[in-house]
């Protein structure tokens, strides 16, 4: 009878403790993540909040294991069935209380799990093109035209709320295309969560920034503001190189150069300027070849 009651307590303790530890071990170590992913986790969940939640769940697992071992040993020294049943009830009550307190950090881990699943699969070793610019300038359409990515395309701004990844090949070598959410011409500390994801890609992913400008201004933003954002990004990320493309050439009136004027970027960092239309296909192959030449 002592063995039976002791085993019940130990079984509950072992099952609950091992299940919680399995949740903890399933998460990657935050420090081991690529800096880009680490910043995305900080934006979406909060690195400190995730660390605290993991520590609390691990602490709950250790407490459950300790209660189970201690109560199982006590039961093995008891003489009456009443004592054993009372000890068993006390152990289960204490362990249930520990599990109730673990509910909040477990909910954090549940949200984090879904967020991790939504993150794009980016290979830092593959040459990368980061598509950036104001909302609604045609980033997602151009990403679709250039690569295998299928981002949502719509006529209203801020359709892209995350980072989408696709690839295309030049001479049998792969180039990664990262479509980022739209940025506005404002200070970094005033950026919302969507804009911070775009800035994280610019900050941590090497390669070329394919900066898009809509000379037709159908995106809702003047060309002057779009160029101003380009210049601010060049200042914020001094190591990045830029290839500037005018989009929506099928709707453009007049020459590209007349629309843009001076871009105000150091010539060594301005790798090229082009004109494309994701709708008509104008300039897409030329842009692929130019990017391939620069990256490969």
Task: Indicate whether 237 and 136 sit together in one domain.
Answer: yes
User: Which are the contacts of 214, defined by CB distance < 8 A and separation ≥ 6?
Assistant: 133, 134, 136, 137, 138, 221, 223, 226, 246, 247, 248
Residue 123 lies in a domain: no
Please tell me which of 13-17, 116-120, 168-172 the model is most confident about, judged by mean pLDDT: 13-17
Q: Note whether 231 and 257 are same-domain residues.
A: yes
Q: Are residues 92 and 238 in the same domain?
A: no
* Range of weakest confidence among 52-56, 105-109, 192-196: 192-196
pLDDT at site 88: 92
Give the bridge partners for 166, in sequence order: 177
- Specify whether 112 is located in the same domain as 152: no
pLDDT at residue number 118? 87
User: Are 248 and 155 within one domain?
Assistant: yes
Q: How many domains does the chain divide into?
A: 2
69, 90, 118 — which closes off a domain? Answer: 118
Q: What domain range includes position 75?
A: 2-118
Among the candidates 95, 118, 141, a domain finishes at 118
157 has pLDDT over 50 = no
Which domain-ending residue is among 68, 86, 118?
118
Q: Say if residue 172's pLDDT is above 90.
A: no
pTM as predicted? 0.79
Q: Are residues 209 and 86 in the same domain?
A: no
CATH of the domain at 60: 1.20.120.1190
Nearest CA among 54, 44, 68 for reference residue 20: 54
Token look-up 């990657």 returns 28
In a domain, 160, yes or no: yes
Residue 265 and residue 156 share a domain? yes
Neighbours of 104 (CB within 10 A): 11
Higher pLDDT pick, 96 / 189: 96
Q: Cβ(45)–Cβ(112) under 8 Å?
A: yes
Same structural domain, 158 and 228: yes
Burial of 159 (0-12, 13-18, 19+ CB in 10 A): middle
Residues 99 and 139 in one domain: no
Rg (CA), the chain: 28
Is the same domain home to 107 and 138?
no
CB 17 within 8 A of CB 64: yes
**Side-chain half-sphere CA neighbours of 114 within 13 A:** 5
The pLDDT, as a whole number, for residue 158 is: 42
In a domain, 281, yes or no: yes
| Average pLDDT score, the chain | 88
Q: Exposed, middle or buried, 199 (CB in 10 Å: 0-12/13-18/19+)?
A: buried
Contact 119, 37 (CB under 8 A): yes
How far is C-alpha 220 from the geometric centre of its chain's CA atoms? 27
Residue 33 within any structural domain of the chain: yes
Same domain for 90 and 29: yes
Residues 110 and 144 in one domain: no
Given a cut of 60, whether residue 84 has pLDDT beyond it is: yes
């Amino acid at each position: 009878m002592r063995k039976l009651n002791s085993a019940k307590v130990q079984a509950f303790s072992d099952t609950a403790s091992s299940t919680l530890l399995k949740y903890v071990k399933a998460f990657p170590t935050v420090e081991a993540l690529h800096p880009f992913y680490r910043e995305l986790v900080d934006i979406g969940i909060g690195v400190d909040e995730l660390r605290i939640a993991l520590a609390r769940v691990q602490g709950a697992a250790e407490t459950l294991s300790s209660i189970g071992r201690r109560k199982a040993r006590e039961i093995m020294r008891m003489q009456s069935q009443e004592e054993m049943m009372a000890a068993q009830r006390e152990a289960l009550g204490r362990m249930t209380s520990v599990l109730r307190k673990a509910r909040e950090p477990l909910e954090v881990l549940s949200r984090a799990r879904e967020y991790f699943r939504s993150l794009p699969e980016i290979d830092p070793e593959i040459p990368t093109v980061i598509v950036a610019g104001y909302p609604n300038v045609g980033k997602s359409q151009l990403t679709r035209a250039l690569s295998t990515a299928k981002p949502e395309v719509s006529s209203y701004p801020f359709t892209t709320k995350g980072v989408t990844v696709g690839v295309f090949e030049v001479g049998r070598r792969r180039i990664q295309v990262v479509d980022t959410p739209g940025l506005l011409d404002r200070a970094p500390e005033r950026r919302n969560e969507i804009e911070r994801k775009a800035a994280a890609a610019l900050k941590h992913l090497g390669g070329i920034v394919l900066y898009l400008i809509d000379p037709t201004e159908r995106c809702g933003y003047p060309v002057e503001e779009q160029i101003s954002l380009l210049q601010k990004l060049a200042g914020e990320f001094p190591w990045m190189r830029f290839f500037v493309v005018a989009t929506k050439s099928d709707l453009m009136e007049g020459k590209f150069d007349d629309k843009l004027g001076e871009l105000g970027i150091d010539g060594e960092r301005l790798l090229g300027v082009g004109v494309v239309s994701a709708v008509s296909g104008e300039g897409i192959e030329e842009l692929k070849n130019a990017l391939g030449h620069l990256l490969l």
